[in-house]
Amino acid sequence: MSDTAPRKRSTAGLTRLALSRVRKGVAYDDIAQTVYDNGGLDSRYITMTVMSAAIAVLGLMLNSPAVVIGAMLVSPMMGPIVALGFSIALLDLDEMQRAVKAIAVGVGVALLVAIILTAVSPLKEPTSEILARTRPNFFDLLIAVFSGLAGAYGVIRQRGDTVIGVAIATALMPPIATVGFGLGTGDLHIAGGAFYLFLTNLVAIALAATLTAGLFGFRPKLATVGGRWRGIAVVAVLLLMSAPLALSLRAIAQESRVSAETRLAVGEIFKGADSRITQLETRSDGEEVTVSVLVSTREIVPTAQSQLTSWLEAALHLPVQVTLDQIAVADPEASARALQANQATPDPATQMRNRLIEAVPFETEAVLYDGAQRVAVIQPRRNSGLDLRGTVALERGLSARFPDVAIRVIPPLQRLEPVDLGDPASRGLAVWALARWRAEPLISICSPEPAPDPAEGEERGPDTGESFLAELTAAGVTAESSSSLCQRGDSNRARIALAE
């Protein structure tokens, strides 16, 4: 017992010595005033928030990481969040209220800008940059905590370059812009996930700033007690936030395993069919797994979806919902072989393929070119933002630019809207899409309009449904007719289901 007390005093003395060295040279009043000056609500803060929100949402919709990083640097939101952390450490209720007001107004302005730009923009398809901000996990919390520590340290030590790095690491504005995109498109799943990411960053940075300020000796002017309890409260809040984020990380880890198992299974199912996966999406909620996979193959395997479902359920011991779409293509691996070709002296076919790649202003899964037949096949990515009409326009534009090449743009496989049999454009779009997919659809002709009365001595022509089926046959589409898809009120329509 006689040695215990001196050892405790020695440890406490070393701790005080270390803290005194850490706190040496800290100008408390000047630093606090600087933090509060940068965390208030003024015209500059509003203006920079509007600019950064506009840059962020445009960068997200264009799927441009460089533009998104620019929005992070322009955003002024780090100021009031760090001010909130210092006001908690100092128990300064007036400054705390001022910081919270600045954060709330900034979030509201940024959301309004993002919603307006999303509403007027023709780009409504979520990009990979948007989707990356909809599922926060435990690692996002750790990044925000360490970024908050670094940001507060940079402010205390007056290191402006550190704060710039923190702005990039925490990315406060892009999640808010993603929330605005989700609200503008009516996708509450995107909006909710992105808001949770922003809230994670905000709370973690503020609390990390509180801990850092306390470590450097920032204390309430009228009280010197309670520091330990503030620290415990901060840690408790972080632990409370980490629970759902850890579950999200577990789901992401499981999705990674599902992706690996899916690639292995597809390789076995399509063995000998010269195929490759062009699109793979997985989702796990801990109790059920959803898999969506698009396979480019020389040979269609009718039982592929059921085989993949059985494989994954046996490997994962969980219920699995599988959607497997197949696209028959002439050569699924042509793009991979083209990349391995000698690029020092490319042959004419490679040169033409490179020209086609440069001419397509969207992300693609594959750009294939047959020099002998002068046929090009282009597959835009599912998240490229192109709908069927946009894909038709792309094909027409490329055909006009390369008149000596037969351009075939394959749109991502998707559900077809009911066809208005009285509208030639609607019929033509459906015929074009089914022909590009080489699909064998199930079609229900619902209450078609009869042909006009023939002139005397002439036979009555086909009704609108028969004309549509004839157009499909002329395009090489083999369809199976059924009335099972028709719904009440359908008049002069065709409903189409793609065979699995």
Cα 313 to Cα 297: distance, rounded to the nearest angstrom: 24
What's the confidence (pLDDT) of residue 22? Answer: 55
Question: Are the beta carbons of 133 and 178 closer than 8 angstroms?
Answer: yes
- Compute the average pLDDT of residues 352-370: 80
The residue to which tokens 């509403």 are assigned:
119
End-to-end alpha carbon distance in the chain = 78
What's the confidence (pLDDT) of residue 379? Answer: 87
CA atoms within 13 A on the CB side of 333: 7
Query: Whose CA is closest to 290, among 280, 299, 303, 298?
Result: 280
Most confident residue range from 46-55, 66-75, 151-160, 184-193 = 46-55
With cut-offs at 50, 70 and 90, classify the pLDDT of residue 288.
confident
Pairing of strands 320-328, 406-409: unpaired
DSSP codes of every residue in 218-256: ---TT----HHHHHHHHHHHHHHHHHHHHHHHHHHHHHH
With cut-offs at 50, 70 and 90, classify the pLDDT of residue 225.
very low
Query: Whose CA is closest to 251, among 276, 274, 281, 285?
Result: 285
Tens digit of pLDDT for each residue in 328-359? 665 555 544 444 444 444 567 777 888 888 77
The residue among 436 and 200 whose pLDDT is bigger is 436
Question: Are the beta carbons of 377 and 343 closer than 8 angstroms?
Answer: no
pLDDT at 162 over 50: no
What's the confidence (pLDDT) of residue 343? Answer: 41
Query: Whose CA is closest to 409, among 427, 391, 425?
Result: 391
With cut-offs at 50, 70 and 90, classify the pLDDT of residue 228.
low
pLDDT at 49 over 50: yes
Sorted by where each begins, the domain ranges of the chain are 21-224, 254-328, 334-409, 419-497
Cα 55 to Cα 309: distance, rounded to the nearest angstrom: 42
With cut-offs at 50, 70 and 90, classify the pLDDT of residue 105.
very high
Tens digit of pLDDT for each residue in 310-327? 888 887 777 888 888 776
Which 8-state DSSP code applies to residue 439?
-
What's the confidence (pLDDT) of residue 134? Answer: 79
pLDDT at 118 over 80: yes
The residue among 135 and 391 whose pLDDT is bigger is 391
What's the confidence (pLDDT) of residue 11? Answer: 61
Burial 12-27 (b: 16+ CB within 10 A, else e): eeeeeeeeeeeeeeee
Task: Return the percentage of the chain with pLDDT > 70, whole number.
Answer: 78
What's the confidence (pLDDT) of residue 345? Answer: 44
Token reading at 217: 């000796």
- Compute the average pLDDT of residues 34-44: 82
pLDDT at 69 over 50: yes
Query: Whose CA is closest to 179, among 197, 170, 191, 189?
Result: 191
pLDDT at 158 over 80: no
Token reading at 206: 């503020």
What's the confidence (pLDDT) of residue 169? Answer: 47
Distances (CA, A) of 237 to 207, 327, 380: 9, 50, 45
**Out of 95-109, 174-188, 386-400, least confident range:** 386-400
Burial class, 210, CB count within 10 angstroms (exposed 0-12 / middle 13-18 / buried 19+): buried
Cα torsion through 19, 23, 24, 29, rounded to 10: -150
- Compute the average pLDDT of residues 192-216: 81
With cut-offs at 50, 70 and 90, classify the pLDDT of residue 23.
low
Q: DSSP 3-state helix, strand, coil percentages of the chain (rounded to 5)?
A: 60, 10, 30
Pinpoint the alpha helices (H) of 171-323.
173-185, 188-215, 227-269, 304-316
What's the confidence (pLDDT) of residue 344? Answer: 43
Task: Return the percentage of the chain with pLDDT > 90, whole number.
Answer: 8
Cα 266 to Cα 264: distance, rounded to the nearest angstrom: 6
What's the confidence (pLDDT) of residue 315? Answer: 78
With cut-offs at 50, 70 and 90, classify the pLDDT of residue 390.
confident
Q: Which CATH class is domain 254-328?
A: alpha beta
Cα 203 to Cα 237: distance, rounded to the nearest angstrom: 9
**Out of 19-28, 147-156, 348-357, 437-446, least confident range:** 19-28
What's the confidence (pLDDT) of residue 143? Answer: 77
Query: Whose CA is closest to 180, among 83, 66, 52?
Result: 52
The residue to which tokens 């980490």 are assigned:
242
The residue among 370 and 255 whose pLDDT is bigger is 370
The CATH architecture to which 334-409 belongs is 2-Layer Sandwich (3.30)
Token reading at 466: 């028969």
Cα 118 to Cα 120: distance, rounded to the nearest angstrom: 6
The residue to which tokens 């579950």 are assigned:
247
pLDDT at 70 over 60: yes
Could you count the other beta carbons within 10 Å of the beta carbon of residue 400?
A: 9
What's the confidence (pLDDT) of residue 382? Answer: 79
- What is the pLDDT of the chain when averaged over all its residues? 77
**Out of 284-288, 327-331, 413-417, 431-435, least confident range:** 327-331
Q: What is the CATH number of domain 21-224?
A: 1.20.1080
With cut-offs at 50, 70 and 90, classify the pLDDT of residue 367.
confident
**Dihedral angle sign, alpha carbons of residues 425, 427, 431, 437:** positive
Which 8-state DSSP code applies to residue 345?
S
Query: Whose CA is closest to 273, among 333, 183, 185, 195?
Result: 333
Helix (DSSP H) and strand (DSSP E) numbers for the chain: 18, 10
pTM: 0.51
Tens digit of pLDDT for each residue in 450-487? 888 777 777 778 888 888 999 999 988 888 888 788 88
What's the confidence (pLDDT) of residue 414? Answer: 83
**Out of 175-189, 220-234, 286-300, 319-333, least confident range:** 220-234
Query: Whose CA is closest to 427, among 376, 395, 475?
Result: 475
